[in-house]
């Protein structure tokens, strides 16, 4: 199955869906219409229970240079409610859909991942980064607190590292991003495609219930006390084993 428009591509190959940002001429800087489309595609993937993985990648030199806010007008500025629904609603939908997909979401990153791009990459369950990748949250440079981006990576990145990234607007390397939890694995740029294929081969060798149970456990038990987590783990494992 293959769906396409000029800014984002969608393709399902057997049991893996690929969502590809396709705006290389702008470094995949994402206008609001593409944020909305991305949320729709991710929601579509969350309803497909035949999948074993979803891959988010990008054409061009950069994964995503952030959001393109478009031209701003001083006439009739939007109300807080309009901002919440029209701008923040579609962004929240993207982050929520990433979590609603029952199997691993894999982000494959090269070049710059800034702002929304860094949050999108960091929100994935597994993030493969080329050694030329860099990550940043530059929103405070224009006095925009990136609270939604922070919300979606707070369970990946510790508060000290996240606050430093946001307050300083630092660009960090893929290696540093891996150290703080924003990235899972760093590989040479020339090996990024091979690393993606190897990972997908491993995921395809697993059953969907096993993949879904791992994601569910990580989502629900990360902050639990051991005994709570262990009880959830026993129930989840029993369901998987009894279904075989």
Task: Please state, in angstroms and as integers, the Cα–Cα distance from residue 69 to each residue in 28, 56, 72, following that order.
Answer: 13, 22, 8
- Tell me the pLDDT tens digit for each residue of 144-195: 999 999 999 999 999 999 999 999 999 999 999 999 999 999 999 999 999 9
Structure tokens at 138: 């530059």
Q: What is the mean pLDDT of residues 85-99?
A: 87
Structure tokens at 146: 């990136």
SS3 content of the chain, % helix, strand, coil (to 5): 50, 20, 30
Residue carrying the six token digits 């949050």: 119
- Whether the model clears a pTM of 0.75, i.e. scores above it, the answer is yes
What's phi and psi for 209, nearest 5 deg? -60, -40
């Amino acid at each position: 199955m293959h769906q396409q428009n000029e800014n984002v591509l969608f393709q399902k190959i057997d049991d893996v869906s690929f969502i590809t940002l396709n705006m290389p001429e702008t470094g995949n800087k994402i206008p609001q219409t593409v944020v909305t489309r991305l949320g729709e595609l991710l929601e579509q993937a969350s309803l497909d229970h035949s999948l074993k993985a979803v891959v988010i990648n990008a054409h061009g030199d950069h994964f995503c240079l952030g959001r393109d806010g478009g031209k701003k007008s001083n006439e009739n500025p939007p109300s807080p409610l309009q901002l919440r629904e029209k701008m923040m609603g579609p962004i929240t939908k993207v982050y929520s859909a990433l979590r609603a997909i029952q199997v691993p979401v894999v982000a494959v990153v090269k070049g710059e991942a800034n702002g929304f791009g860094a949050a999108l990459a960091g929100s994935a369950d597994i993030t493969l980064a080329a050694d030329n990748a860099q990550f940043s949250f530059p929103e405070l440079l224009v006095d925009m607190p990136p609270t939604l981006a922070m919300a979606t990576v707070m369970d990946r990145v510790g508060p000290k590292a996240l606050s430093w990234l946001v307050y300083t607007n630092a660009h960090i390397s893929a290696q540093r991003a891996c150290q703080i939890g924003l990235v899972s694995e760093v590989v040479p740029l020339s090996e990024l495609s091979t690393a993606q294929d190897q990972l997908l081969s491993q995921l395809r060798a697993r059953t969907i219930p096993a993949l879904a149970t791992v994601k569910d456990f990580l989502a629900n038990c990360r902050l639990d006390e051991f005994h709570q987590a262990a009880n959830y783990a026993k129930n989840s494992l029993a369901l998987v084993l009894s279904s075989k």
